[in-house]
Structure 1
């Protein structure tokens, strides 16, 4: 397999962190982003600066994501895969129990950030016949008590 350059949002923990470790172990380069600069720096130190590059950013902020993509491509010269992994759930499921501010934050991260990531990476992915991957949830396929 040809070694690829992969952008991962939500890379500082969980699925994003585990994916980054697996990709680097298999010879790929990773561009990592998340809000936690400390966690990202620790992960890059672990993976090696020749294999991993990070830019702390809030994925809900278009200009911050734009900077991540630009700096990552500047570092590694190309982008082959974008993994839109950043996301969140709500603390109190159910329509009547929900917090409108929490819903707004969830829409910003789970929908808008995904759109921003696609908008900013697709032109580069097309150049390299790359791929766009996203993390989703089973919540859309399984009913949750109290939800509409």
Structure 2
């Protein structure tokens, strides 16, 4: 019995780690002196785009986020809470966001409390990236 348990645990560990290897891993570094609120727009394995927010990143802190995506292209909307400055970089798109924590599918307009926001495009060729907010 003991000899069967070890191989079973090893197989389970390999299966779990293989599933995590295909997640998009975003490291968000807040180098500013204000809280940064972040929303992420990404392609799910189902083929539907999802927009999730808000992730609060404290000043001087790093926030790690893994999202269920195998796509290397994703979008981030980040705003400095203190003064409302929006971080933009390179190519941008407009997507719906809500004032409260939310998840929206395929850029569906929220029933209430929604607005359009500017999202910057990022690419993570190895499904891992560091994003910096100064």
TM-score, scaled relative to structure 2: 0.28
TM-score, scaled relative to structure 1: 0.26
- Whose strand fraction is larger, Structure 1's or Structure 2's? 2
